[in-house]
């Protein structure tokens, strides 16, 4: 077994690998760019080596710098994590020449399976059912359009060396193919250093299901069940679960055996994932093979009880797999939510900045469920523009799918993040969505259920009453605290606060009677229901936890002028508690309307201007592209919302812009 390994990665996956290595008694070496000097993975490792400037192309993607770090520290092996160099055939070859072990598959397997075009060819040769497409290299937009016309629309344009949704576009017409081809090639080049793309038929209403395989250097390969990864946005996974609610035991066996056969055909000898696109009728087609550890590997670990990182390290050291296919048991259900630094209310555009608050839910057993949080940040960490926007992966396990979803919803409600925009409200809303809860999934789920984008829903039903009860309880608690302030002109013992209260929750009015009962607060609404509220919450804490109406609850709380902002179960609202007289007067107060900025194109997120596609004086039509802004490895095309004439250009190619910076103005 190795004495010291180097992790050629950053963020949560680097921290994840360090935890397993530490448990195995293996020393670790971290590498870091200038942007990651103060990152969590740097502090966690036994040693850390700087490898260059913030851009990945000058640091994490430079093989020579990784090898130099290994030699300087005496690291015997390298774990690549995912992304960066994890699927680059040249990396394990260079390591081998330097006498360093690669904790991953052999270069031949990466060449056969890691490249998306080559893996399609290998699968076809192995008689594996594949999606119709063109497997050759496409050199021009015109060639891509010709191929797409022959295949039939819609088609998917995909980076050959890609992953994580980068360098991927769905096109429904020749025009979209031409534009998507250019964008996919550009993203592929910047993310992977390889601009090759291919085109294949896009299966309508598909599900994305993948099989986890693990092999050793002695010819043994097994599969560890499947993961359902159909909840995606912009081809990037958002929520994963294991097992899949679609599959039965027979379909699982056929998919697993096919995945193993494909892996054995290329002498696969590490952890890898064979991805399938599946129809609602349980038909499935080989999509690609990822020759690395997957982002979503924790859900497989939770239902199998296995540590995939440990298995990777052991087989890389030459050990035989410690279990056979008959030993694999799937127990319970696991759900994973990817917490991203992005604004779901602004079309999920990236957000950067400092985490002024970062309080994840407590890990470990909670009732009959288990909570796990894989992360690479802490309070005070900086979310930079240079890398993937993932903050954490929140995972819950429970005996059943419904219980795992309930646990995930509670954990999301208890996850407090401030300083940047994030997608937790969206994830919480997904957990409450009936279609998700019923398991009626497809890769088009988010586009179909949120066609106009995401806005936090208005609280309704029991969720609204629960939030109103907590708002009344908080107001009551603050009033009780005021009674204890010393030096008051009137003796607080002679003060009586009115029991009759009005809670304004957004636009909803709740009349209630509020009083202390047996250490808790009883909130009796005008409809005859009474909610007993109990909590140890203290003012200033970002998450209210306790019980409401006898049920456990977590609610996000942020202070407002004369009120609080509450967020729970995906819903959000401002809450203010008044006496009845105050409520009547507050209803008469005028509301200040926000001004508009319709004559300007504003940068929707912090990013780098890749190109300005118009000039001053040019007339543009609604939908016409105006500029391309890159942030967190994704290119975003900004389009005209209406017809108009460009008056002035305020930004130029190469500029780094802040959110809402003016790019151009219209006449």
Residue recorded with tokens 């690549």: 80
What is the bridge-based pairing of β-strands 207-215 and 221-233? antiparallel
Alpha carbons 428 and 423: distance in angstroms, whole number = 9
Order of strands, sheet of 619-620, starting from the edge strand that comes earlier in the sequence: 600-602, 662-666, 644-649, 619-620
Q: Does a cis peptide bond (omega within 30 degrees of 0) precede residue 154?
A: yes
Q: Residues 288, 336, 342, 635: which is the catalytic one?
A: 288
Taking CA 89 as the corner, what is the angle to CA 168 and CA 13, rounded to the nearest 5 degrees?
65
DSSP for 300-335 reads HHHHH---HHHHHHHHHTTPPPS--GGG----SEEE
The answer to whether 139 is a known catalytic residue is no
Query: Do residues 296 and 229 lie in contact, with contact meaning Cβ atoms separated by under 8 Å?
Result: yes
Burial (Cβ within 10 Å: 0-12, 13-18, ≥19) of residue 456? middle
Residue with tokens 């960066």: 84
* Closest alpha carbon to 77 in 392, 355, 309: 309
CA angle 350, 354, 358 (to 5 degrees): 95
Q: Cβ neighbours of residue 19 under 8 Å, at least 6 residues apart? A: none
**CA 514/CA 479 separation, integer angstroms:** 12
H helices of 45-100, in order, are 63-73, 90-97
Q: What CA–CA distance (Å, rounded) separates 190 from 389?
A: 16
Specify whether the CB–CB gap between 252 and 194 falls below 8 A. Answer: no
Please list the active-site residues.
288
């Amino acid at each position: 077994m190795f004495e010291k390994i180097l992790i050629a990665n950053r963020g949560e996956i680097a921290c994840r690998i360090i935890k397993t290595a530490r448990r195995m008694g293996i020393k670790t070496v971290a590498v870091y760019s200038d942007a990651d000097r103060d990152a969590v993975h740097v502090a966690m490792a036994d040693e850390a080596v700087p490898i260059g400037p913030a851009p990945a192309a000058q640091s994490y993607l430079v093989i020579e710098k990784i090898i130099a770090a290994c030699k300087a520290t005496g690291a015997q092996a390298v774990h690549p994590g995912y992304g960066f160099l994890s699927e680059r055939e040249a990396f394990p070859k260079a390591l081998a020449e330097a006498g360093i072990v690669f904790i991953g598959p052999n270069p031949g397997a990466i060449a056969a399976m890691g490249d998306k075009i080559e893996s399609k060819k290998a699968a076809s040769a192995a008689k594996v059912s594949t999606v119709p497409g063109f497997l050759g290299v496409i050199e021009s937009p015109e060639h891509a359009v010709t191929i797409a016309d022959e295949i039939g629309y819609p088609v998917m344009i995909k980076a050959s060396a890609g992953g994580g949704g980068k360098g991927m576009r769905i096109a429904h017409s020749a025009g979209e193919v031409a534009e998507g081809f250019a964008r996919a090639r550009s993203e592929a080049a910047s993310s992977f250093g390889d601009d090759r793309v291919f085109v294949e038929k896009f299966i309508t209403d598909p599900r994305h299901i993948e099989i986890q395989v693990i092999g050793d250097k002695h010819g043994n390969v097994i599969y560890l069940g499947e993961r359902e990864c159909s909840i995606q946005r912009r081809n990037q996974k958002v929520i994963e679960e294991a097992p899949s609610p679609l599959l039965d035991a027979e379909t699982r066996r056929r998919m697993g055996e096919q995945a193993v056969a494909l892996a054995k055909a290329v002498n696969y000898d590490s952890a890898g994932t064979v991805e399938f696109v599946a129809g609602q009728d349980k038909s499935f087609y080989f999509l690609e093979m990822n020759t690395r550890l997957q982002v979503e590997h924790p859900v497989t670990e939770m239902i199998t009880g296995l540590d995939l990182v440990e298995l990777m390290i052991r087989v890389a050291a030459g050990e035989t797999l410690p279990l056979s296919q008959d030993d694999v048991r799937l127990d319970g259900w696991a759900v994973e939510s990817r917490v991203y630094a992005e604004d779901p209310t602004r079309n999920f555009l990236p957000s950067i900045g400092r985490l002024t608050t970062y309080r994840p839910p407590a890990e470990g057993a909670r009732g009959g469920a288990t909570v796990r949080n894989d992360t690479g940040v802490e309070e005070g960490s900086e979310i930079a523009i240079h890398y993937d926007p993932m903050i954490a992966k929140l995972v819950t396990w429970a005996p059943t799918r419904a219980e795992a979803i309930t646990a995930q919803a509670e954990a999301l409600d208890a996850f407090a993040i401030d300083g940047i925009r994030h997608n937790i409200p969206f994830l919480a809303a997904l957990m409450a969505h009936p279609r998700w809860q019923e398991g009626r999934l497809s890769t088009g789920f988010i586009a179909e259920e949120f066609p106009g984008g995401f806005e936090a829903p208005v609280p309704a039903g029991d969720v609204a009453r629960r939030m109103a009860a907590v708002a009344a309880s908080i107001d009551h608690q603050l009033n009780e605290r005021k009674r204890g302030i010393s030096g008051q002109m009137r003796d607080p013992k002679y003060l009586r606060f009115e029991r009759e209260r009005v809670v304004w929750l957004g636009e909803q009015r709740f009349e209630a009677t509020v009083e202390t009962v047996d250490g808790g607060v009883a909130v009796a609404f005008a409809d005859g229901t009474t909610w007993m509220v109990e909590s140890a919450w203290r003012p200033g804490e970002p998450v209210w936890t306790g019980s409401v109406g006898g049920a456990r609850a977590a609610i996000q709380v942020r202070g407002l002028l004369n009120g609080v902002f509450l967020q729970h179960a995906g819903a959000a609202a401002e809450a203010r508690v008044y006496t009845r007289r105050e409520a009547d007067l507050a209803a008469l107060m005028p509301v200040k309307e926000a001004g508009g900025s319709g004559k300007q194109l504003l940068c929707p997120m912090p990013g780098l201007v890749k190109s300005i596609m118009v000039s001053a004086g040019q007339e543009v039509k609604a939908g016409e592209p105006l500029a391309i802004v890159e942030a967190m490895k994704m290119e975003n095309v900004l389009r005209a919302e209406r017809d108009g004439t460009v008056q002035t250009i305020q930004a130029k190619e190469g500029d780094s812009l802040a959110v809402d910076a003016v790019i151009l103005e219209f006449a």
